Amino acid sequence: MPSALLYDWDNTLVDAWAGITAALNTTFSAFDMPPWTEADARRRVRLALSTSFQAMFGADWQRARDVFVAAMRDGHLSHLRPMPGAAAALAAGHRWLQGVVSNKDGPFLRAEIAHLGWRSHFRAVVGAGDAAAGKPDPAPIRLALIQLGIAATPAVWYIGDTGDDMLAARAAGITGVLIGDAGHDGGIDRAAPDMHFATAGALAAHLHTLV
């Protein structure tokens, strides 16, 4: 029985990859770099923006960040779609404390939550830049627990779609719950979750059985 449910955002509750890919390609174009497909973005985007852009753009990473942020601000909400079963999972989870912990930039994350009308579901929202480090570091999960006013125990579930999500959960001392097959991240065995559900809809069905 969980005491709280924390969720990753992209590819767990929402499909925002079209918007992320478009903003990345605007940025790459400004630096004469080849574009990515959406599949490239799904496979390669893992870390917080500041970390990944320093690796990709070196000393120019802050200028690249500004281009990306401007492109995201212009278009990310128009591309946003809930993942199948996500709304059902949030509705089933209303009996417990719920929150979001994401490596998406905090202002964009909060804007997307508001755009979908989901703010009332979450007592804690932590995005990139809100904590001292991004996932797989446990810092953002620990910040969310502070916002919820609860301690880290295995009864807190962190629900995500990648191995880094499961690493962050283990480092924080909570239960890692994988949604999907992690095919974009080395598969289920590599992710090594404590619990696994094929879809958000399957998670919703399980939560109903716990009442």
For the stretch 44-69, pLDDT in tens is 887 778 889 999 999 999 999 999 99
Domain spanning 4-15+81-209 has what CATH number?
Answer: 3.40.50.1000
What is the four-CA torsion angle of 130, 133, 135, 139, rounded to 10 degrees? -80
* Residue listed under structure tokens 């958000």: 200
Q: What's the whole-model pTM score?
A: 0.85
- Per the listing, tokens 């094929």 go with 198
CB 122 within 8 A of CB 98: yes
Burial status of residue 59 (CB atoms within 10 A of its CB: 0-12, 13-18, 19 or more)? exposed
pLDDT-derived band at 94 (thresholds 50, 70, 90) equals very high
Q: What stretch of H or E contains 100?
A: strand 97-105
pLDDT (tens digit per residue) in 189-202: 999 999 999 999 99
Q: What is the pLDDT of residues 159-176, one digit of tens each?
A: 999 999 999 999 999 999
Report which residue type is found at 22: A
Closest Cα to residue 2, out of 177, 165, 160, 121? 177
Instruction: Tell me whether the omega of the peptide bond preceding residue 34 falls within 30 degrees of 0, making it cis.
Output: no
Give the Cα-Cα-Cα angle 196, 200, 204 (nearest 5 degrees): 95
